[in-house]
Amino acid sequence: MARPSDASQPRLAAGCRWGGSEEDRVILFPEGAIKLQGTGRQVLELCDGQRTFAEIVADLQTLFGAADPQKISDDIGTFLEQLQQKRIVDY
């Protein structure tokens, strides 16, 4: 599996959905659940199947303006690739 391209449109995989309360959101998937906080939660909330990977990275660069743009892209790409390997995200 590869990291998403700039044109990829990440979204939750089939069978995965948000659960929990607003403050304790989790991703429910067939094998279990993952509680997301902080940046991980922000990233997945942007993965709506409409935004491209490049748009998600641009949105995060706006939020974290002091961070290196290439590092943001690399870190988010790696994060989404790991979630794709676990069949939580598709793109």
Distance CA 30, CA 17 (A): 10
Domain presence at residue 36 = yes
Model pLDDT, residue 23: 85
What number is the average pLDDT over the span 61-79?
91
Distance CA 90, CA 12 (A): 6
Domain presence at residue 91 = no
Q: In this predicted model, which residue has the larger pLDDT, 23 or 16?
A: 16
Q: Which range marks the domain in which residue 62 is found?
A: 11-86
The tally of domains found in the chain comes to 1
Model pLDDT, residue 31: 86
Q: What are the C-alpha distances in Å from 41 to residues 28, 35, 55?
A: 13, 9, 16
Q: Is the pLDDT of residue 1 over 80?
A: no
Domain presence at residue 5 = no
Model pLDDT, residue 64: 86
Q: At what angle do helices 69-85 and 38-46 cross, to 10 degrees?
A: 80
Structure tokens at 1: 């599996």
Q: List pLDDT tens digits, range 48-60.
A: 999 999 999 999 9
